[in-house]
Amino acid sequence: MGRPTVVFPLVLLALLALLTFWIDRSVQPPERRPDANLRHDPDYILDNFVTTRTNVNGALAYVLAAVKMKHYPDDDTTELERPRFTQYAVNKPYTQIEGQRGNVSSDGETVEFMDNVIVIRQASKDKGEMMVRTQYLKMFPKQEVAVTDKPVVITQAPETVIHANGMVFNKKNQTVNLRGRVRAHYLSPSVTKKAAGKAPASTPAKASKAAPQKNAKASASPAKKQATQAKRSTSTNNQARIRRKYDNPAP
Amino acid sequence: EKADKDKPINLEADAVTVNDAKKTSIYTGNVILTQGTLIIRGDKLVVREDKEGFQHSTTYGNPQTPSTFKQKMEGKNEYMEGSGQRIEYDGRMDKVQLYTKAWVKKGDDIVHGDYIMYDANAEYAEVIGGGSQAATPATPTGRVRAVIQPKKKPAGTDGATAN
């Protein structure tokens, strides 16, 4: 009796175990290696940028400014931090939308603004400045439609305040549908007619080299507007420059 | 009351459609409009603004709950109330028109008719009966029917005690 006779069956047994383990491994489907484009990682990031777009004949179409922008290749979406989107139209007041966060879908079909969304439509000669405040706004730029199902507060100088729980705003045929218990407060037209005579149109005053703050004082808008104006980030300077250039094109 | 004209307008409704191009706004669903002492209720309210900015409003009710309006009268603490399937208010002419199964109550006097028109500027009212199909519980024949209370003599001017 010697040592070898005991060792032989053990070795045989180990070999068999190894064999079954190997067969089991090869039968398994290959486990997925972390594929690069499955991960949701941005491929380019922009900080504090301002993009300006003009239409075919060079007139200013829109300005998009944001603190940070991340573009994701896997679903071709774009994330924005504190975006501000300003849309200009020929001899129509500009519309400006601000939010804490924004999302642009892959083909730019839908643009979403989230958290403290403020829409400002500049005053025009017959209507005061209109401001819409909500927590969420989904925009379809091509159809010029903006939709929200969150509570909305619409204020229009001089004293109109409207509360609602949902809104569909169609800029092209200029209709606004409000849902949920709507509460509206207007000045009676007879008063607004008298008031309209006195209050100067609140479009920015004659262009001057002044800083934007002076520009804010020049337009006769409520103190609330100056507060938001003061809080604006640095891009207000070229904002005002663009507006001046746009309002008074070179003769 | 005249002062109501300059008071702000408060409106409540379930849904609103505002059309800036046509300068009309349509309020639907349990609409309540208040301006000073004027209160208008209805199922649907259409406000149209003409070029000079005058507002014309049309309020629609339904057979169960007609649209109603109520306003304090000038100088007196009496109220003027009215109701009808449709109430039209012409802002420029300051004229109220009530259509179908309408009644207007001024203080204690009440008048029923198929069409009632009241022109605030000219202090002129017109009531037209509607024949049998305009019958209402108050006027089974559908003709104009008014109930005018005897004016009580102001108390204490003479000995007679008003009944």
Asked whether residue B155 carries a pLDDT value surpassing 50, the answer given is: yes
Asked whether residue B37 carries a pLDDT value surpassing 90, the answer given is: no
Does residue A123 lie within any of the structural domains? yes
Asked whether residue B41 carries a pLDDT value surpassing 60, the answer given is: yes
Which residues sit opposite A130 in a β-bridge? A121, A156
Does residue A83 lie within any of the structural domains? yes
Domain that holds residue A120: 44-144
Query: Which domain CATH number covers A111?
Result: 2.60.450.10
Q: Do A176 and B14 touch (CB under 8 A)?
A: no
Does residue A15 lie within any of the structural domains? no
pLDDT at A219: 39
Average pLDDT over residues A137-158: 88
Residue located via tokens 């109701």: B83
Average pLDDT over residues A197-223: 40
CB < 8 Å from B in window 167-196 of A:
173-193
Q: Is the full-model pTM beyond 0.95?
A: no
Q: Are A175 and A198 in contact (CB under 8 A)?
A: no
Q: How many domains does chain A have?
A: 1
**Measured between alpha carbons, how far is A51 from A62 in angstroms, rounded to an integer?**
8
pLDDT at A249: 53
pLDDT at A247: 59
Does residue A104 lie within any of the structural domains? yes
Asked whether residue A129 carries a pLDDT value surpassing 60, the answer given is: yes
**Measured between alpha carbons, how far is A78 from A52 in angstroms, rounded to an integer?**
17
Does residue A129 lie within any of the structural domains? yes
pLDDT at A210: 36
**Measured between alpha carbons, how far is A222 from A157 in angstroms, rounded to an integer?**
8
Q: Do B54 and A184 touch (CB under 8 A)?
A: no
Taking Cα atoms as reference points, which of B152, B47, B61 lies closest to residue B107? B152
For residue A180, the chain B residue with the least C-alpha distance is: B14
Does residue A201 lie within any of the structural domains? no
Residue located via tokens 């679903």: A75
ipTM of the complex: 0.73
Give B38's contacts in chain A (Cβ within 8 Å): none
Give A178's contacts in chain B (Cβ within 8 Å): 15-18
For residue B11, the chain A residue with the least C-alpha distance is: A184
pLDDT at B156: 55
Does residue A79 lie within any of the structural domains? yes
